[in-house]
Amino acid sequence: MKKYIIPIIIVLVVIAIILIQKPFFRTSDTTTVRIGLALALSGDAASWGEQERNGVILAQEELNAKGGIDKNLVEFITEDTKSTSVGSTNAVQKLVNFDKVQYIIGPTWFDSYPGAQGVVKNTNVLMITPSASATAIQQPEKISNIFSVWYRTDAITDGLAKFMNTDAKKNIALVFQNDAYYQEVQDFFVTVADKNELNIVSKDLINPGETDFKTLLARMKLKNVDAIFFGMYDESMLIGLLRDHTTIAPNIAIYTNQDARGWINNKDYQPYISNLKFVDNAPMSETFVKKYTERFKTEPTLSASTAYDTLMIIAEAIEKSDNPREYITKHSFSTTTFGVVSFDEWNGIGTKNKQYQMFQVIDGEAVKI
C-alpha cells in the first residue's frame, strides 16, 4: 500500500495548485451566456476588428461587474473572419455548428464580405453586425434574425449630396472600388443626386489593383466635372488616385467617406489631401470616448462604439424577453453612438437619427464644416 501513497500525494498537490492558480474555475451553480464574435483580426479590415473587439470587451467588463446578463456572466468565443467572405462564412459556421452559440456579434464588414447569411437563415441564432450596411446585408433577401448597428448608407449619402449642393457643386464623377459596399454607396448617391440638383457625369467601379488614373481624370476635365466622390479600401489604388488627381486635375474638388480620418496623420497620404472634404460618422458620446480611452489608452475610432452598443442591445433583449429577436424589433434602445434608437424594416438603425457630419482637411487637420 505504501508504494501508492507518494503518487497519491503528488496528484493531490497538483490538483491543489491548479485550484489555487485558476480562480476562473466556476462552481456548478455559475452559468454563462456564450456570445460568438466573428471579427476581422487579420487582413484589410483588421483595424476595424480590433476596435470592435475592444468595444465588446468594454461592454463585457461592465456587464460582468454587475453580475452579467440575467445573473449569467458574459463569455466570448472569438473567430477571425480574415477579412474575406470565405473567412466570415467559416467563422460563423464554426460558431453556429460547433460552438452552438445563440448570439453572434459580427461579421466585421459583413457587406463587403457576405455569405454567412445562409448559415443563420432559418435558425434561432441572433446575429448583429456592428460594421455593415443594413440594406446591403439584407440582399438578395431579408433575413429576420440578422441586424446591423452600423450607420446607414442611405442617410450618409443623402447628407453628402445635400452638402455638395450647398457647396455649389453640380457635375459629379463617382469613382469607387468594385465591391458590394461601394456599389451600394454609388447606387444610393445616384438616387439622391437629382433631388439635390446634382448631375452625375460618370460612374466608375474600379477593380482592386489599378493604380493609374491619369486617363480617367483627364476625361473628367474634358467633361467639366466639378467634384469627385470616391471610396476605396485598396491603399495602392487610393494613393494612385490621389496622386494623379494632384497632378492632372487639382482644381476638381474631392469628397470621400469616414476613411479619410485615418489618412490625416499618414505621411503617404498627406501630400495629396489638402482641402479634401469627407462625410464622417456622427460623433460617439463623450462618456464612451472617456471610458474607452481610460481602458485602452487610445481614443475609439471606426466601429468601437457600435460594437459596444451591439452587446448592450443583446444583453437587454436577453434579460427582458424569452424571444430576444422579437424584442429587438419592437423596442427602443439607448446607445452611445446614435442616442435612443429603434430598428426599421431593414433591421437597421432608423434613418431619423443624425448619422453624419462634414469635415475638411485644412493645414493637416480635420476641421468640422
Got the DSSP string for 186-227?
HHHHHHHHGGGT-EEEEEEEE-TT----HHHHHHHHHTT--E
Q: What is the pLDDT of residue 253?
A: 97
Q: Which CATH architecture has domain 154-281+357-368?
A: 3-Layer(aba) Sandwich (3.40)
- CA distances to 116, 176, 217, 228, 309 from 60, in Å: 25, 37, 48, 42, 11
Give the chain's radius of gyration (CA, Å).
24
Distance (Å, whole) CA 200 – CA 354: 26
Residue type, 46: A
- What's the pLDDT score for residue 282? 84
Q: Report the distance separating Cα 346 and Cα 188, nearest Å.
A: 15
85 contacts 43 by C-beta, under 8 angstroms:
no
**What is the predicted pLDDT for the residue at 9?**
46
What 8-state DSSP symbol labels residue 161?
Answer: H
CA distance 74 to 31: 9
Domains 32-151+284-337 and 154-281+357-368 share a fold: yes
Strands 227-231 and 199-206: unpaired
Residue 78 is classified by DSSP as E
What single-letter DSSP state applies at residue 97? I
Taking only the tens place, the pLDDT of each residue in 85-124 is 999 999 999 999 999 999 999 999 999 999 999 999 999 9
| CATH topology classification for 32-151+284-337 | Rossmann fold (3.40.50)
Residue 234's CB is within 10 A of a number of other CB atoms, namely 18
Residue 180: per-residue pLDDT: 87
pLDDT tens for 48-66 read 999 999 999 999 999 999 9
Whether 172 and 202 have beta carbons less than 8 Å apart is answered as no
pLDDT at 351: 64
What pLDDT is attached to residue 355? 76
Where does the chain have alpha helices with state H?
A: 2-21, 46-65, 85-93, 117-120, 134-137, 153-166, 180-193, 214-222, 235-248, 286-296, 304-320, 324-330
Q: What is the pLDDT along the chain (369 residues), one digit of tens a residue?
A: 444 444 444 444 444 443 333 332 233 345 999 999 999 999 989 999 999 999 999 999 999 999 999 999 999 999 999 999 999 999 999 999 999 999 999 999 999 999 999 999 999 999 999 999 999 999 889 999 999 999 988 888 999 999 999 999 999 999 999 988 999 999 999 999 999 999 999 999 999 999 999 999 999 999 999 999 999 989 999 999 999 999 999 999 999 998 898 899 899 999 999 999 999 888 899 999 999 999 999 999 889 999 999 999 999 999 999 999 999 999 999 999 999 999 999 999 876 666 788 999 999 998 999
Task: Please provide the distance, in angstroms rounded to a whole number, between the alpha carbons at the two ends of the chain.
Answer: 85
What's this model's pTM, rounded to 2 decimal places?
0.82
> What is the pLDDT at residue 12?
43
Beta strand 227-231 with 171-177 is parallel
Domains of the chain by residue range: 32-151+284-337, 154-281+357-368
Euclidean distance between CA atoms 357 and 369, whole angstroms = 8
What are the residue ranges of helices labelled H in 214-360?
214-222, 235-248, 286-296, 304-320, 324-330
DSSP summary character for residue 262? G
Name 197's Cβ contacts closer than 8 Å, sequence gap at least 6. Answer: 165, 170
Side-chain half-sphere CA neighbours of 355 within 13 A: 22
